[in-house]
Amino acid sequence: MPDLCAPAPTVYDPEKREIIQLIAVPAFSDNYLWMVCKGNHAVVIDPGLAAPVQTILHQHNLTLDAILLTHHHHDHVGGVLELQHATQAIIYGPARETLPACDHRMSEGDSLSLPNVDLTLHVVDVPGHTAGHIAYHGALGSHKQPILFCGDTLFAAGCGRLFEGTPEQMLDSLNKLATLHSDTLVCCAHEYTLSNLEWALTVEPDNKALQNRWTAASQLRENAQPTLPSHLQLELDTNPFLRTSQVSVSTAAERYARQALNQPVSVFATLREWKNNF
Ligand SMILES: [Zn+2]
Ligand SMILES: [Zn+2]
């Protein structure tokens, strides 16, 4: 499948001698609609628009087996009805959100298997950005590459805004994601990386991993390439929202708040407010 719209990591499955592609399809100003494609089959995560997904399906003669949704925001579900009518794909989505259509309502502890694209996923509840937000994590291909589709919960060097949840909920949600395998590919739904890194560098200016990440991400964006997927270990090393217990981060948050912050959740809430005002 050459000439896809964005350079994508390719997972070669040596046992089956098949290529699985993970594609970040750009939409709107900064969304990525993630697609996993293998042979003549595809699945899409959070199709906020149908057209760019349809283009890839047609160009490569792919059948859309499933649509996975993380939360109810329009830029994540806007293309669902059009894709459903065109493809009869099965729709999986959060149990507790209002969606345009959904065949399987998913919540923490549920799993799904998409054998045509060699993807097995488990659901975790990650409230905070929205009240019923879910994330899907699991294994891709026969060598079980850990992978995470986290919608608007975790971003490269950032996290989602708290539209419907509390700092406690969001910190709990991020802590769940932080305990996944450190080799997990992190498929975030927006290209916010450079602005997040700019802020993260004001929180931790001496973090070498963060400085290196800024250089690498700037180069990718200069070449109009996505900075995603990220990698969980990279987030653990550079994302202030996953580093609330690091002294460098809590000290910076205390300086911003002009008071002592004794709990990780108060450090987290301060970081979120700082980023909102950055
Ligand atoms: Zn959202
Ligand atoms: Zn979004």
CA 16–ligand 2 middle distance (angstroms): 35
Distance from residue 191's CA to the centre of ligand 2 (Å): 10
Ligand minimally distant from the alpha carbon of residue 73:
1
Q: Are 206 and 167 in contact (CB under 8 A)?
A: no
| Ligand 1 midpoint to CA 12 (Å) | 32
The tens place of each residue's pLDDT in the chain, 278 residues long, gives 333 334 455 665 555 556 889 999 999 999 999 999 999 999 999 999 999 999 999 998 999 999 999 999 999 999 999 999 999 999 999 999 999 999 999 999 999 999 999 999 999 999 999 999 999 999 998 889 999 999 999 999 999 999 999 999 999 999 999 999 999 999 999 999 999 999 999 999 999 999 999 999 999 999 999 999 999 999 999 999 999 999 999 999 999 999 999 999 999 999 999 999 99
* Ligand closest to the CA atom of residue 31: 2
- Report the separation in Å between the CA atom of 19 and the middle of ligand 1, taken as the mean of its atom positions: 31
φ and ψ at 227, to 5 degrees?
Answer: -90, 5
Q: Rounded to the nearest whole angstrom, what is the distance from the C-alpha of residue 135 to the centroid of ligand 1? A: 12
Nearest bound ligand to the CA of residue 94: 1
| Ligand 1 centre distance from Cα of residue 275 (Å) | 17
If you measure from the C-alpha of residue 240 to the centroid of ligand 1, how many angstroms do you get, rounded to a whole number? 20
pLDDT at position 20 is 86
Q: H or E stretch including 38?
A: strand 31-38
Give distance in angstroms: CA of 274 to centre of ligand 1: 19
Pick from 15, 9, 114, 16: which is nearest to 63 by CA?
Answer: 114
**Distance of CA 44 from the midpoint of ligand 1 (Å):** 16
C-alpha 154 – ligand 1 centre gap (Å): 11
**DSSP code of 190?**
B
* Predicted local confidence at residue 225, as pLDDT: 92
Q: Which of 63, 68, 236, 64 is nearest to 137 (CA)?
A: 68
Q: Is the dihedral of CA 48, 31, 184, 223 positive or negative?
A: positive
Distance CA 216, CA 211 (A): 9
d(CA 100, CA 19): 32
Distance 33 CA to ligand 2 centre (A): 10
pTM to 2 decimal places: 0.95
